[in-house]
Amino acid sequence: MAKSTIHVGLEIGTSKTCMVVGEVKADGSVKILGVGETKSVGVRKGEISDFHQVRTCVREALLEAEDFCDVDISSVVLAVTGSHIEGINNRGTYRLPEDANEVEEEHIDEVKEIAQDIAIPTDNVYLHNVVRKYILDDQQHATKPLGLIGKSLESDFHIIHGVRSRIQNSIKCVREIPLDVDEVVFAPIASAQIALNRERKDEGALVIDIGGGTTDYVLYINGAIEASGCIPVGGDHITNDIHLVTHIPLSKAEQVKKTEGDASGDPAKSVGVVTVNDENGFTENEIKRSLLNDVIRGRLEETLYFVKEKLPEEALKSVGTGVFLTGGTSLMRGIGELTNEVFGLPVYRPEQPEVSGVQTYFRDPQYSTAVGLIRFAQILEEENSHKKTNKGFMKRLSKLLPFGSQ
């Protein structure tokens, strides 16, 4: 009888460092055992700017998570992000030998290797090589066309890569705790495991994860990744804009953004003033609500258009489901209406995932990435159970590790 497995997801974000411990049971169900979280220090736009401060944050999240669930944590699935990470599509073509008529596993391996052989900057390393589809004699297949008769075999891949040293910094930080790294995952792919089920991916859906320092996105068309990337702008930039325009402290700007702001553009929601009180409860400042909302809407609108411009032309016409918003900034009032204006598609927030345990965390979209890492690890474990080894990841990880694979 299959045993349950413990997986731990770690997100080192601009605003928070979060570690989620999940148990994948024999029947495939997931129970969240505990969460450790601390405010991030030393992270800028999703990337490490102060190594020692970030290492302290990870250690604090680890201790809290272990205390929460009474589990000794030895390894994690690590989320990474940053504007240096890019996603590109590439197609490989392979012609079967003259004496071969049926597609065999070795032919699949050949065409995959050709599709993945794409020039990336010398300082970059592959994060994900994701099969999008196979084509055999001009006929598309979502899965390997093993055993089918044909001659011309093609494969489409979505390849995600990033700057080696920046990814290494995150891995090094974790390994010095010390913790092992089971897998490195581009953050929006983890978020998509919570936001989208198989049906939504098949119908076409766009996931946008708006965090404190970055906005990550991944677009699924016909069940496969069509585009992915990261914009180095997030909710913290809105806070800073409010601070610069109104001259109130950053802490107050963050507060009024969350409690008073609205991005919908509805004139009825921009009437009157917002009162900012000092620590003693006395009026410190008054801000026109219309000004506050204009600042918030302006930055968010710009960010969403940045994402839209990164998507392939005509791609949105193939999105049958809509846009799914995650991340802490997705809680902003009126962001759904604004997103609908920009993309012309229905807008959703992910429903509560089918997991048990610490339910409070699942209702908040800012935990989508960390919880999604558990789902990702579960899927990866199921895939690897059909293989003798996980050589693909180990080979890739050896290139990422700063000091080899010891």
Write down which residue in 104, 139, 161 finishes a domain: 161
- Its pTM stands at 0.90
Q: In terms of domains, do 117 and 224 share one?
A: no
Query: What's the confidence (pLDDT) of residue 395?
Result: 52
Q: In terms of domains, do 148 and 207 share one?
A: no
Q: How confident is the model at residue 2 (pLDDT cuts 50, 70, 90)?
A: low
Share of the chain above pLDDT 90, in %: 76
Q: Look up the CATH number of the domain holding residue 294.
A: 3.30.420.40
Q: In terms of domains, do 260 and 203 share one?
A: yes
Q: How confident is the model at residue 234 (pLDDT cuts 50, 70, 90)?
A: very high
Write down which residue in 307, 325, 348 finishes a domain: 348
Residue 149 carries which DSSP code? B
pLDDT(398) > 60: no
* CA atoms of 28 and 289, how far apart (whole Å): 49
More confident residue, 392 or 184: 184
Query: What's the confidence (pLDDT) of residue 30?
Result: 82
- Mean pLDDT for 180-199 is 94
Q: Look up the CATH number of the domain holding residue 127.
A: 3.30.1490.110
**Residue 334: inside a domain:** yes
Residue 117 burial by CB count (10 A; 0-12/13-18/19+): exposed, middle or buried? exposed
**Residue 402: inside a domain:** no
Q: In terms of domains, do 156 and 218 share one?
A: no
Q: In terms of domains, do 120 and 237 share one?
A: no
- Mean pLDDT for 372-384 is 87
Query: What's the confidence (pLDDT) of residue 360?
Result: 54
Instruction: Convert the pLDDT of each residue in 101-140 to its tens digit.
Output: 899 999 999 999 999 888 899 999 999 999 999 999 999 9
Q: In terms of domains, do 313 and 202 share one?
A: yes
Tokens of 161: 């890569």
Q: In terms of domains, do 144 and 213 share one?
A: no
Instruction: Convert the pLDDT of each residue in 321-354 to its tens digit.
Output: 999 999 999 999 999 999 999 999 999 988 655 5
Domain count, the chain: 2
pLDDT(303) > 50: yes
Q: What is the mean pLDDT of the chain?
A: 89
Under 8 Å between Cβ of 2 and 15: no
Query: What's the confidence (pLDDT) of residue 406?
Result: 31
- Mean pLDDT for 259-284 is 89
**Residue 290: inside a domain:** yes
Which residues make Cβ contacts (< 8 Å) with residue 3, sequence separation at least 6? Answer: 26
- Mean pLDDT for 173-188 is 95
**Residue 181: inside a domain:** no
Tell me which residue range forms the domain holding 340: 197-348
**Residue 132: inside a domain:** yes
**Residue 148: inside a domain:** yes
Q: In terms of domains, do 122 and 264 share one?
A: no
**Residue 253: inside a domain:** yes
Q: Phi-psi bin for 55: left (phi > 0), alpha (psi -120 to 50), beta?
A: alpha
Write down which residue in 134, 161, 188 finishes a domain: 161
Beta-strand relationship, 124-136 and 152-163: antiparallel
pLDDT(380) > 90: no
Q: In terms of domains, do 338 and 209 share one?
A: yes
Beta-strand relationship, 205-210 and 180-186: unpaired
**Residue 37: inside a domain:** no
